[in-house]
């Protein structure tokens, strides 16, 4: 599904519309500046509505509607923008309101009346305080692309995901950790905004095929590549799940034995195809539901999956991230329990500053994760 951020030719750059010169006269000889003093409000000027817009890279249909409204001195709420976007989609023969392409031309003439009926945009102007009081700097706001990424990732329905990936039906998903990981990946520039739908659809497909939780895959990538970073590399392991060099290791398994670093030239979407092949090769999901620790061991050291007891040290060579060790102490062993705890803690800490969906899994998922470790094996 291609939903992208906002910028287009027929409209002013960004969302800023021209404002009326505050020296312009307003009826009765009063200046606009005097009117502002009395009312505390500025009315945003209107410009002619375009009859046709050309979609540019980074556009969304809802963004186009909101910008068209802003250019006409109007404010479109989320509900209004969605309603009008559906009308535009219908008038232009779009099968999916969320699917538009660069250079596509969209007629807006049929919704001019709807746009003109929206409430006028007014900017409240406050007089400066005397003496001026010191105020704390505003908190940083998330980027438009990242906000749209989160809304899109959360809003992708099973039918929409199926249209993106036509290999069969995609189950409905509640994926707050995955959604925030994708939003963070956009914020950090790991993946392009327009890739979000395809990435989530591929993960959903693999989750169904290999019987794991999509949020657990997100936690895995947050440990391995800082969260869906296709350019992540430690020199010998590369990509979103760190395909490692070696004749019998991950890169060789997916066909990159001769040039493992070439994996870094692939997008996140393309690398997910390699993940699919790798999971098939190492038998992910063949014995039933994959717990978080099983899924991670399939990437880190598949042979270590043979030890099923949760507190027994695992045979894992080399120095690993502190999160994976008991008590985050690299002098202590790695166990299934420490892997599970470390992956959850790492994900929570990395996603803490991401605005939007909660990282807490639904009650059903929490109870499943707890019950997985209730019995000593």
Same domain, 310 and 358: yes
How far apart CA 324 and CA 341 sit, in angstroms, is: 8
Give residue 372's pLDDT.
33
Joined together, the tokens standing for residue 212 give 């794991």
Number of DSSP helices (H) and strands (E) in the chain, helices first:
14, 8
| Block mean pLDDT (10 aa), the chain, length 377 | 34 34 40 46 62 83 84 81 84 78 88 88 56 50 57 58 52 83 93 91 95 97 96 93 89 92 94 96 93 96 95 91 95 96 96 65 38 33
Q: Please check whether residues 280 and 179 belong to one and the same domain.
A: yes
Give the total number of structural domains in the chain.
2
From the list 231, 204, 230, the residue with the least C-alpha distance to 217 is: 204
- What integer pLDDT is reported at residue 306 of this predicted model? 95
Classify residue 365: in a domain, yes or no: yes
How many whole angstroms separate alpha carbon 27 and alpha carbon 36? 14
Task: Examine residue 357 and state whether it is found in any structural domain, yes or no.
Answer: yes
**Tokens standing for 99?**
């699917």
What is the 8-class DSSP label of residue 110? G
Burial of 228 per CB tally in 10 Å (0-12, 13-18, 19+): buried
pLDDT computed for residue 274 by the predictor: 96
Phi and psi torsions of 105, nearest 5°: -100, 130
Are 118 and 178 within one domain? Answer: no
Same domain, 116 and 207: no
Last residue of a domain, one of 65, 94, 124: 124
Q: CATH number for the domain including 87?
A: 3.10.350.10
Is residue 15, in this structure, part of any structural domain at all?
no
- The predicted pLDDT at position 239 comes to 96
Q: Which two tokens stand for residue 187?
A: 């914020």
257 within some domain: yes
Per DSSP, the residues of 114-183 read HHHTSPBPEEE-PPPPSSPPP-PPPPPPPPHHHHHHHHHHHH--HHHHHHHSTTS-------HHHHHHHH
pLDDT of residue 299: 95
What is the domain range of residue 173? 145-371
My answer on whether 363 and 272 are in the same domain is yes
Last residue of a domain, one of 73, 95, 124: 124
């Amino acid at each position: 599904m291609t939903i992208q951020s906002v910028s287009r030719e027929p409209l002013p750059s960004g969302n800023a519309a021209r404002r009326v010169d505050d020296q312009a006269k307003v009826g009765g000889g009063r200046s606009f500046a005097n009117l502002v003093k009395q009312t505390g409000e500025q009315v945003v000027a209107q410009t002619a509505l375009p009859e046709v817009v050309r979609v540019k890279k980074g556009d969304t249909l809802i963004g186009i509607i909101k910008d068209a409204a802003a250019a006409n001195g109007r404010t479109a709420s989320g509900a209004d923008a969605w309603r009008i976007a559906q009308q535009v989609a219908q008038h232009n023969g779009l099968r999916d309101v969320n699917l538009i392409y660069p250079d596509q031309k969209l007629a807006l003439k049929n919704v001019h009346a709807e746009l003109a009926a929206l409430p006028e945009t007014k900017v409240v102007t406050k007089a400066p305080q005397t003496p001026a009081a010191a105020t704390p700097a505003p908190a940083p706001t998330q980027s438009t692309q990242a906000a749209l990424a989160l809304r899109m990732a959360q809003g992708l329905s099973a039918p929409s995901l199926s249209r993106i990936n036509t290999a069969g039906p995609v189950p409905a998903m509640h994926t707050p950790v995955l959604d925030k990981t994708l939003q963070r990946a956009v914020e950090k520039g790991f993946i392009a905004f327009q890739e979000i739908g395809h990435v989530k659809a591929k993960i959903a497909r693999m989750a169904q095929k290999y019987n794991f939780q999509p949020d657990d895959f997100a936690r895995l990538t947050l440990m391995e590549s800082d969260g869906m970073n296709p350019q992540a590399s430690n020199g010998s392991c590369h990509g979103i799940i760190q395909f490692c060099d070696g004749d019998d290791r991950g890169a060789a398994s997916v066909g990159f034995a001769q040039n493992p670093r070439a994996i870094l030239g692939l997008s996140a979407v393309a690398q997910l195809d390699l993940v699919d092949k790798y999971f098939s090769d190492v038998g992910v999901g063949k014995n039933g539901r994959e717990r978080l620790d099983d899924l991670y061991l399939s990437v880190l050291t598949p042979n270590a999956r043979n030890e099923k007891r949760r507190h027994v040290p695992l045979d894992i060579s080399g120095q690993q991230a502190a999160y994976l060790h008991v008590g985050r102490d690299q002098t202590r062993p790695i166990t299934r329990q420490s892997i599970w705890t470390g992956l959850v803690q790492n994900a929570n800490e990395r996603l803490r500053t991401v605005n939007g969906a909660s990282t807490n899994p639904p009650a059903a998922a929490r109870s499943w994760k707890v019950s997985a470790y209730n019995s000593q094996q």
